[in-house]
Chains A and B, each alone.
Chain A
Amino acid sequence: MNDYKIELSGVSKSFGDKHVLQGLTLNIPTGSSVVVIGGSGTGKSVMLKSILGIVKPDAGSIRIDRQDVTKLSGKDRSKVLSKIGMLFQGAALFDSLPVWQNVSFGLIQGQGVKRKEAREVAIEMLAKVGLGKDVASLSPAELSGGMQKRVGLARAIATHPEIIFFDEPTTGLDPIMADVINDLIVERVQELGATTLSITHDMASARKIADYIAMIYHGKIVWAGAASDIDNSGNEVVDQFIHGRADGPIEIDIKR
């Protein structure tokens, strides 16, 4: 079977002489939930931004629904982007707009939904991420970090996109809220048939939401497989990472 929603092959990206992605290859099956794990600063966010076209890869191809998206611009690009919802690592809420307009931005600007109706959808979406009606008219600056993250999540799913990217959806949340968010992501995949690609450091979350897990190291995917195989990967890098050991093949530069 070869039914992939997103295919990255040989993607490379350098910033100056810092080679962040070095021939990264990853296939994401349609309707599945893939989680990418990896150390801080290894290029996970850069990978997501490359798929979105925010970062232009130096080499390699990225295909969404079998269409190469690295060379798209203008109308074609926004057509592809309208299939995708994205939760940014830092939430990236528009601070000039109240919370409800942030959540319904894609509906109002992208799909021409009337403001009154959009507000109702926004309140519904906020409820899904555990935020009350009273939050809707606040400005993003009045929210805590975890609340901003959840508003970003509500914004990412509000348009019911086919593909959703979650950049660290549960960091900054308490364990209970994190689990609510995990359930929400699972629901998106199972009930709505969305394809999701998530990044996380939180192994509990990864185990819960992932169908497949991939490990990024030195700009490449060093291991990818079913989530249930993560404990028997036979890969030292993965073992060290999931057990959070300081010694192993992953070297961390700390001066002692």
Chain B
Amino acid sequence: MNILQPIGRTALVVCALAGRLANFAASALINTVQPPFYWRAVLQQLLRMGYYSLPVVGLTALFTGGVLALQIYIGSSRFNAENFVANIVALGITRELGPVLAGLMVAGRVSASIAAEIGTMRVTEQIDALTTLSTNPVKYLIVPRVVAAIICLPLLVAVADIIGILGGFLVATQSLDFNPSVYIRSTIDFIEVGDVTSGLIKAAVFGFIIALMGCFNGYYSEGGAQGVGRATTNAVVSASIFILASNYFMTTIFFSE
């Protein structure tokens, strides 16, 4: 009997949490399509999330593209398939590594800062103050962040795709002696629209996850500075896990002919 007790208790806690998260996500989405809208807040968030994430995302993509080219070259030269380096780099970046790595990097940056900001507002009663000033905190705080993240992430991933492929190109042409025009030609000939769009759709979903986990953990944080710290950690960890898991499922849906 005593073994079942903790299992049952944990199950209840997990179910309650899942329910609360689903509720929160639903109310965020419903409020997105109901006025009033806070455009100023959306623009501010776009700048903070999108523009200031560019360096991080760009560097990640550059080095990932480079290392990908290097490894594929080493691997494929074992059976004289070096010609495929350009194709596989393009495919790997646009379909998987661009969206996933950009998503994870932005999760670290943005989820954490959202959770810290909203969590601090919660524990200092600023969220309560919003309600007393007839402002719905979900509309004023959550919706702008969710909307901004859903817009930002695809744009960031588009940039990551280009820079990632550029990284592969630089390594291939500078240290592996590929012919630049042949490399570009085989990238362009091989890549399909679906490869890019599937990555961008994934990115939009990751954007939603990033903002949602940041907001959710911040919104329900309690217990002062320590609680905010816990919310921040939980936001990053849960956003990362949801990104990786949802990526797997989206890949199976998109590429399962």
Chain A residues packing against B (C-beta within 8 Å): 49, 52-54, 78, 81-82, 84-86, 88, 90, 92-96, 105-106, 109-110, 155
Q: Is the CB of B133 within 8 A of A95?
A: no
Q: In the complex, which of the residues B125, B129, B140 has the most CB atoms of chain A within 10 Å of its own CB atom?
A: B129
Q: Is the CB of A52 within 8 A of B133?
A: no
- Distance in angstroms from B66 CB to nearest chain A CB is 39
A-B contacts, 24 of them at CB < 8 A, read A49-B128, A52-B128, A52-B131, A52-B132, A54-B128, A78-B134, A78-B136, A81-B132, A81-B134, A84-B132, A85-B132, A86-B129, A88-B128, A88-B129, A90-B125, A92-B125, A92-B128, A93-B129, A94-B129, A95-B126, A105-B135, A106-B134, A109-B134, A110-B133
- Cβ of A96: which chain B residues have Cβ within 8 Å of it? 117
- Distance in angstroms from A118 CB to nearest chain B CB is 13
- Complex-state Cα separation, A82 to B132, whole angstroms: 7
- Sorting the interface of chain B by its residue count into under 10, 10 to 19, 20 to 34 or 35 or more gives 10 to 19
Render B189-212 as a binary contact track against A, CB cut-off 8 A, 1 for contact: 000000000000000000000000
- Distance in angstroms from A17 CB to nearest chain B CB is 18
Q: Is the CB of B126 within 8 A of A109?
A: no
Instruction: Known A-B contacts: A92-B129, A110-B135. Give 20 more (CB < 8 A).
Output: A49-B128, A52-B128, A53-B131, A54-B132, A78-B134, A82-B134, A84-B132, A85-B132, A86-B132, A90-B124, A90-B125, A92-B126, A93-B126, A93-B129, A96-B117, A105-B133, A109-B133, A109-B134, A110-B134, A155-B133
- Complex-state Cα separation, A74 to B126, whole angstroms: 19
Choose one: A82, A88, A110; the contact of B125 (CB below 8 Å): A88
- Complex-state Cα separation, A93 to B133, whole angstroms: 12
- Cβ of A84: which chain B residues have Cβ within 8 Å of it? 132
- Distance in angstroms from B241 CB to nearest chain A CB is 29
Q: Is the CB of B131 within 8 A of A106?
A: no
- Complex-state Cα separation, A106 to B117, whole angstroms: 21
Q: Is the CB of A54 within 8 A of B124?
A: no
The dominant DSSP class at the B interface is helix
Q: Is the CB of A92 within 8 A of B124?
A: yes
- Cβ of B130: which chain A residues have Cβ within 8 Å of it? 94
Q: Is the CB of A106 within 8 A of B128?
A: no
- Distance in angstroms from A158 CB to nearest chain B CB is 9
Name B115-130 residues within 8 Å CB distance of A: 117, 120-121, 124-126, 128-130
Q: In the complex, which of the residues B125, B131, B135, B140 has the most CB atoms of chain A within 10 Å of its own CB atom?
A: B125
- Distance in angstroms from B161 CB to nearest chain A CB is 33
Q: Is the CB of A81 within 8 A of B131?
A: yes
- Cβ of A82: which chain B residues have Cβ within 8 Å of it? 134
- Complex-state Cα separation, A211 to B124, whole angstroms: 31
- Cβ of B140: which chain A residues have Cβ within 8 Å of it? 109
- Complex-state Cα separation, A85 to B121, whole angstroms: 19
- Cβ of B135: which chain A residues have Cβ within 8 Å of it? 105, 109-110
- Cβ of B120: which chain A residues have Cβ within 8 Å of it? 95
- Distance in angstroms from B227 CB to nearest chain A CB is 15
- Complex-state Cα separation, A82 to B121, whole angstroms: 21
- Distance in angstroms from B60 CB to nearest chain A CB is 28
- Distance in angstroms from B59 CB to nearest chain A CB is 28
The 4 A-B residue pairs whose C-beta atoms are closest, nearest first, are: A92-B125, A92-B129, A110-B134, A106-B133
- Cβ of B121: which chain A residues have Cβ within 8 Å of it? 94
- Complex-state Cα separation, A147 to B175, whole angstroms: 63
- Cβ of A106: which chain B residues have Cβ within 8 Å of it? 133-134
- Complex-state Cα separation, A92 to B129, whole angstroms: 7
- Cβ of B136: which chain A residues have Cβ within 8 Å of it? 78
Chain B's closest residue to A111 (CB) is: B134
- Complex-state Cα separation, A246 to B134, whole angstroms: 42
Q: Is the CB of B131 within 8 A of A54?
A: yes
Q: In the complex, which of the residues A81, A109, A110 has the most CB atoms of chain B within 10 Å of its own CB atom?
A: A109
- Complex-state Cα separation, A95 to B132, whole angstroms: 17
Chain B's closest residue to A156 (CB) is: B132
- Distance in angstroms from A9 CB to nearest chain B CB is 23
- Cβ of A86: which chain B residues have Cβ within 8 Å of it? 129, 132
- Distance in angstroms from B116 CB to nearest chain A CB is 12
Chain B's closest residue to A110 (CB) is: B134
- Distance in angstroms from A197 CB to nearest chain B CB is 13
Q: In the complex, which of the residues B117, B126, B130, B135 has the most CB atoms of chain A within 10 Å of its own CB atom?
A: B126
Choose one: A52, A78, A94; the contact of B126 (CB below 8 Å): A94
Q: In the complex, which of the residues A82, A92, A93 has the most CB atoms of chain B within 10 Å of its own CB atom?
A: A92
- Cβ of B129: which chain A residues have Cβ within 8 Å of it? 86, 88, 92-94
- Complex-state Cα separation, A105 to B131, whole angstroms: 11
- Cβ of A155: which chain B residues have Cβ within 8 Å of it? 133
